[in-house]
């Protein structure tokens, strides 16, 4: 069976709320000796993206969306327990999502893979005020601030947060990482708002954060990003 056919079959079980059928598909993957992280990356994540896209485009009902996200979260929680744990790498990550609950599921997959990959992770989810985030960064002194799976409506707040962190000099060695959602749909957006690192999928995020722990956006690059935003705003 092709990967796309498997994803579509899995998607159908999710939007119908068919818990038994969804578990059977996962069991098939496990029986074929697919690693847990591969199941998250190649089955759960594409299904999550498909659910989100079809819901945004009004191609599935709220009921189908709720069936799917709750069932997929249950399966994600179970798969998290199967992940192979790597040795701690000494890097602390403070992670937030947008305020909409439906964006939290993809972020959870990323959080689970990052923790299994050796990162010390604090996952707060969405709805946290900017001043609380900045205060936490000052208190915790994390190595990474991860902003994951955001909607277009979240961008102004993310831009303000990143600019304020740079202006205040809070935790100057902090690496700012973004991924998922709107950043996957708009090329160059992550760099434009001043992020240091970005990735499209949870497993890619783990790999990039491991391979580029010291990558930082230079001050002149951030200035260019601000100018681009101002130019676009003026043109509009």
CA angle 150-153-156, nearest 5°?
90
CB–CB of 7/169 below 8 Å? no
Q: What is the CA radius of gyration of the chain?
A: 18
pLDDT tens-digit series, residues 134-188: 999 999 999 999 998 667 888 888 999 999 998 888 778 899 999 877 787 777 8
pLDDT tens-digit series, residues 51-81: 999 999 999 999 999 999 999 999 999 999 9
Which residue is listed with tokens 């947008």?
Answer: 98
Domain with CATH 1.10.1240.10 in the chain: 3-80
**Average pLDDT of the segment spanning 7-22:** 98
Nearest to 113 by CA among 183, 19, 42: 42
Class of domain 3-80: mainly alpha
Residue 103: predicted pLDDT: 73
pLDDT tens-digit series, residues 200-236: 888 999 999 999 988 887 655 554 444 444 444 444 4
Residue 221: predicted pLDDT: 53
Around Cβ 215, how many Cβ atoms within 10 Å? 12
pTM for this one?
0.86
CB–CB of 144/177 below 8 Å? yes
Domain with CATH 3.40.50.280 in the chain: 92-235
Residue 148: predicted pLDDT: 85
Mean per-residue pLDDT over the chain, rounded: 88
**Average pLDDT of the segment spanning 83-107:** 89
Residue 193: predicted pLDDT: 87
Class of domain 92-235: alpha beta
How far is it, in rounded angstroms, from Cα 117 to Cα 195? 22
For the ranges 23-32, 37-46, 164-173, 219-228, the lowest mean pLDDT is seen at 219-228
pLDDT for 18 beyond 60: yes
Residue 111: predicted pLDDT: 95
């Amino acid at each position: 069976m092709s990967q796309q056919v498997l994803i579509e079959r899995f998607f159908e079980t999710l939007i119908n709320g068919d818990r038994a059928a969804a578990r059977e598909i996962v069991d098939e993957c496990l029986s074929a000796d697919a690693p847990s992280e591969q199941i998250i990356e190649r089955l759960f994540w594409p299904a999550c993206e498909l659910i989100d896209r079809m819901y945004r485009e009004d191609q599935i009902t709220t009921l189908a969306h709720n069936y799917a996200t709750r069932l997929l979260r249950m399966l994600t929680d179970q798969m998290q327990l199967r992940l192979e744990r790597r040795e701690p790498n000494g890097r602390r990550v403070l992670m937030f999502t947008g305020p909409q609950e439906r964006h939290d599921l993809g972020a959870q997959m990323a959080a689970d893979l990052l923790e299994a990959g050796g990162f010390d992770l604090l996952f707060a989810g969405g709805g946290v005020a900017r001043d609380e985030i900045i205060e936490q960064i000052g208190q915790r002194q994390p190595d990474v601030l991860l902003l994951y799976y955001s909607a277009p409506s979240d961008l102004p707040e993310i831009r303000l947060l990143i600019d304020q962190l740079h202006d205040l000099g809070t935790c100057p060695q902090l690496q700012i990482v973004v991924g998922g959602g709107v950043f996957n749909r708009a090329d160059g957006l992550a760099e434009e708002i001043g992020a240091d690192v970005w990735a499209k999928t949870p497993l890619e995020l783990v790999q990039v954060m491991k391979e580029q722990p010291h990558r930082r956006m230079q001050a002149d690059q951030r200035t260019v990003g601000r100018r681009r935003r101002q130019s676009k705003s003026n043109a509009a």
